[in-house]
Amino acid sequence: MKTGVLRHQPGDTVGIAIYAAQKGDELEVKDVSTQETFPIYVREEIPVFHKIALMDMEKGSDVMEYGQITGEATENISKGQYVHVHNIRTRKW
């Protein structure tokens, strides 16, 4: 299995697809800080360099990227789902 998703820090709830992924693809997630790898199944199409959920997130939960809170889930998000403006928002505004 080739690496298709990068996770920046071990606590991150999202990763970045390093190429376009299709529903049903099985990708390897690689943590760039620890070199840990694990598989993930893609639940819907994800464009290149966009976010994928690395774990289930409940509505209102923190979205973590780069070891930082980068937003909040506006709906329940399943592991392997596309994460973008339709299901997360910033907490800055």
pLDDT tens, residue by residue, 58-85: 999 999 999 999 999 999 999 999 999 9
User: For residue 3, what is the DSSP state?
Assistant: E
pTM value is 0.94
**What is the pLDDT confidence band of residue 3, given thresholds at 50, 70 and 90?**
confident
Per domain, the residue ranges of the chain are 3-89
Q: 3-89 adopts what CATH topology?
A: 2.30.130
**What beta strand segments (E) does the chain contain?**
3-7, 14-17, 26-31, 37-41, 51-53, 62-65, 68-73, 82-83, 88-89
Phi–psi pair at 83, nearest 5 degrees: -115, 120
